[in-house]
Chains A and B, each alone.
Chain A
Amino acid sequence: MSYGTPVPDGDPLMEPFWQNAREHRLSVQCCRDCGDRHFPPSPVCPSCLSEEQDWEVVSGKATLISWVTFHRAYWDVLQSQLPYDVCLVALEEGPLLMSNFLGPRPENAREGLPLRVAFDAVSDHLTLPKFVAA
């Protein structure tokens, strides 16, 4: 299925994330020196300030923190999808990720609900990591 979403803002630091997502891998930045995992990516490690940074494919396991239902489209491209949910998840490896439920919101959605990543190819160029109940 193909549909419109706001496009990524073109931050070159994010390119590996999007490349991995196209190949159905969820990844976060990981410091080669101290092992700190962080997302969104940063030009230096926020923990030790090292510039030696890699991308690490993570388990895709997460827990739900919260979600909201948008009734207003801040981008025209989302107007036809109202209302839509955005969820905030905590990856097993630590970083938080803003995302969507793939398919309907889990009926028992609440803070702490176990989730797993699923990939949604919204166009030839863009695949979004999303989440379903584990």
Chain B
Amino acid sequence: MTSMNHLRNKVAVVGVGNTPYGNFPHKSDYALGADAFKAALVDSGLEKHEIDGLVTCRVPYYARMGEVLGLDPRWTLAMPGHGRMSGMAIIEAMLAIESGAADHVALIYTNIGRSRRMNYGGDDSASVWDPWGFTSPGAAHAMMFRMHMQRYGTTTRQLAEVSVAFRQHAILNPDAVMKKPMTIDDHEEARPIAEPLRLLDYCLINDGAVCMILTSAERAKDLRKPPVLITGAGGRDAFRRSAVANFDPDMWFTEAQDTSRQVYEMAGVGPDDVDALMCYDNFSPTVLFSLEGFGYCKRGESGAFVEGGRLALGGALPTNTDGGHLSNSYMQGWALNIEAVRQLRGECGIRQVPGCEVVHYVATTPCTRSIIYTRA
């Protein structure tokens, strides 16, 4: 099989920006997107006219976004608002830059799900399973977590460690939405939604936008901030077993293993080399599945692995240092990717991982994707 190994360290992230996160009923997707774009452009030191590639994600209409920003790119890609799309989009942008299709690509993600009262279930996402009352990505993850509990003896108190660690990080993040301290008991006593999952196993729903600007590592040398390199990337989709949306009877273990082989081989690093993990956390069990699928622990052992604050700052594997989707912001992977960049630049203040040189982004989903970033 061919690989992307020859693209190791060829493309860099040179600008990142985000809006405040929260409830903004009077702001449109385009207004939020423009704010994030302006912040990322300043961060990069590029001039607007130098942006010749555009990726939009969850933006209602890519052309309107380009119109608002006054851009006529020579390469544009519009992606739907699914969490799996962030990693996919960044890899696509890497390929576009390396192929010569674009020099400087702006990737813009916008989300107004909070102020527009998105439900993520019921009539928002009709499916063949509606007559039996089954709906929502959260319930699909509850199904998988029940299987994990039964197969491996994983407990909800172990699962709570994920939410508690990320909340500790959010408290250190000025941008984060949820800053109320949380204990394992708080998690256990929270309102059940789709049991065995409870409210504190669920991601937030909030408004906001994120922008990243990518270019070649060569061009990145002359820009404002130290470049952060895309050192590894990989992916594998699982469509054949997707009859139940957001569910996989094997928790995407095979796809995660395949993706991890690709990303580690391309980057030339392994789990032991990773200083911080940015792990897609639509629901807390996804983190456990990711830790196993990407070789941070053995299959079935993620519950014990996360005990004792291992994922918290100061622990052996600081994970989602911005607070993740559970406590920072529901930016569907995008906020985690800009947190990766900021950690590698050393810009994270009191939540900075000391000596951070390798950051690993993981999204274990029906389109599993992974990216390893390093400092140039």
Contacts and interface: CB of A to CB of B under 8 A. Distances in A.
Interface string A36-54: 0001100000100000000
Interface string B23-53: 0000000000000000000000000000000
Given A75-B123, A96-B244, A68 B131 contact: no
Q: How large is the interface on A (under 10, 10 to 19, 20 to 34, 35 or more residues)?
A: 35 or more
The majority secondary structure among interface residues of chain A is loop
A88 B241 CA distance: 14
Contact of B128 (A14, A65, A66): A14
Interface in A62-95: 65-72, 74-75, 78, 81, 83-84, 86, 88, 95
B130 A9 contact: yes
Interface string B147-167: 100110000000000000000
Contact of B130 (A7, A65, A84): A7
Contact of A71 (B119, B143, B146, B193): B193
Contacts of B122: 6, 74-75
Contacts of B197: 68
B129 A98 contact: yes
Contacts of B309: none
A5 B132 contact: yes
B126 A69 contact: no
B131 A7 contact: yes
B336 to A, nearest CB: 27
B144 to A, nearest CB: 7
A110 interface: yes
Contacts of B146: 66-68
B117 interface: no
Given A65-B249, A75-B123, A100 B128 contact: no
Interface of A: 5-9, 11, 14, 39-40, 46, 65-72, 74-75, 78, 81, 83-84, 86, 88, 95-96, 98-100, 110-111, 122, 126, 128, 130
Given A5-B130, A95-B243, 10 more contacts: A7-B130, A66-B146, A68-B142, A68-B194, A70-B195, A71-B195, A75-B133, A86-B132, A86-B133, A98-B134
